[in-house]
Amino acid sequence: MLRTHKVPEMTLSNAWQILRLCVAEMIGTAILNFAVVRAVEHPPEHSAAFLIVPIALTLSIWIAGPISGGHINPAVTLALCSSRLVSFIYLPIYWLSQFFGALMGAALAHGFTVGMLNDTAVIRAVAMANQTTAGSQGYVGQFFGLHLAAELTTTTMLLLTVLVSADSKRPSDWGSHGFYTSLAVGMMALIIGLFFGSELACFVNPVVALGLSIVLGLKSGFWAHIIGPLLASLVAALLFQFMFCADAGLKRTKACLCVSNYDYSTDLSPRDPIALPDK
């Protein structure tokens, strides 16, 4: 298995593992985008709509996790790279895989819609998609700051869940591995959906917004949904290093930002840690 926190050696075995990583990320992102586009073009009942995408996200992470780590989101990859848990050399590999997976899933879902509906219904479905994802006018340039703030807030919440779950130094009683990681991330996605509902679109994933824009022909003013999650990945990475990881603090944050051969496994705990009182 690849050690993604290090630069890989150029061997045939590593090339095969990188190919597996790409395919896993493509399939995982495709599953997520398929669910999103189908929910937009063929909306289920109101209560079910809040469950479909988080469940799809949970299962996508579960499927891809053992192979690629189950990022399924460019913002997640950037947060892990910024925290030095994944080498930046993998960033373009993950991003390209996620981009093509998003297009594949969105195109497949839209293809089902086209096949099931006549031309008039397709036009109505696309119009509904524009109304659903841009109902608060985030796609036409108005309230850009509101959408940016919403994406920044919700994506930071999601990415902190991812980062603390990926912390190898986390106490075993609070360990979050395998299915529990995917479940935790899916639950956070559900909470985010319940926070805003259909009133304010929060994708927390740039390639989801991009896939909807390209495949469904949505309006182009969607930069808040691209910029917000990427900015949130940097905010979440800093919060993780400074506050939430096992030996968090200024020393850990400085090392992450300034040390070229930074290794997260190095113990940077303070020599005289503050003892928490017993309950």
In this structure, is residue 166 part of a structural domain? yes
Give the SS3 label for residue 114: helix
**For position 233, what pLDDT does the model report?**
93
In this structure, is residue 275 part of a structural domain? no
How many other CB atoms sit within 10 Å of the CB of residue 51?
14
Name the residue with tokens 């848990």: 85
Q: Which residues of 174-212 are buried (b: 16+ CB within 10 A; e: fewer)?
A: eebeeeebbbbbbebbbebbeeeeeebbbbbbbbbbbbb
In this structure, is residue 264 part of a structural domain? no
Distances (CA, A) of 162 to 51, 54, 80, 238: 19, 14, 9, 14
**For position 66, what pLDDT does the model report?**
78
In this structure, is residue 204 part of a structural domain? yes
Residue 226 structural domain:
12-257
Q: Where on the phi/psi map is residue 73: left (φ > 0), alpha (ψ -120 to 50), or beta?
A: beta
**Which amino acid appears at position 58 of this protein?**
T
Maximum Cα–Cα distance across the chain: 70
Give the SS3 label for residue 269: coil
* pLDDT surpassing 90 at residue 55: no
**For position 154, what pLDDT does the model report?**
84
In sequence order, the β-bridge partners of residue 140 are 221
**For position 274, what pLDDT does the model report?**
43
Cβ atoms of 246 and 268 within 8 Å: the answer is: no
Q: How confident is the model at residue 111 (pLDDT cuts 50, 70, 90)?
A: confident
In this structure, is residue 262 part of a structural domain? no
* pLDDT surpassing 80 at residue 108: yes
In this structure, is residue 241 part of a structural domain? yes
List, as one string, the DSSP characters of 199-263: TS---S-HHHHHHHHHHH---SB-HHHHHHHHHHHHHHHHHIIIIISTT-SHHHHHHHHH-TT--
The mean pLDDT of 48-66, rounded to a whole number, is: 81
- Beta carbons within 8 Å of 193's beta carbon, 6+ residues apart: 50, 53, 54, 202
**For position 134, what pLDDT does the model report?**
45
Rounded to the nearest integer, the mean pLDDT of the chain is 78
Taking the C-alpha atoms of residue 236 and residue 149, their distance in angstroms, rounded to an integer, is 14
Domain count, the chain: 1
For the entire predicted model, the pTM comes to 0.75
CATH number at residue 175: 1.20.1080.10
The mean pLDDT of 90-112, rounded to a whole number, is: 90
The mean pLDDT of 246-264, rounded to a whole number, is: 85
In this structure, is residue 146 part of a structural domain? yes
130-100-117 Cα angle (round to 5): 40
**For position 277, what pLDDT does the model report?**
46
In this structure, is residue 228 part of a structural domain? yes
Going by the DSSP 8-state scheme, the letter that residue 277 receives in this structure is P
190-204 per-position pLDDT tens digit? 877 776 656 567 788
**For position 96, what pLDDT does the model report?**
96
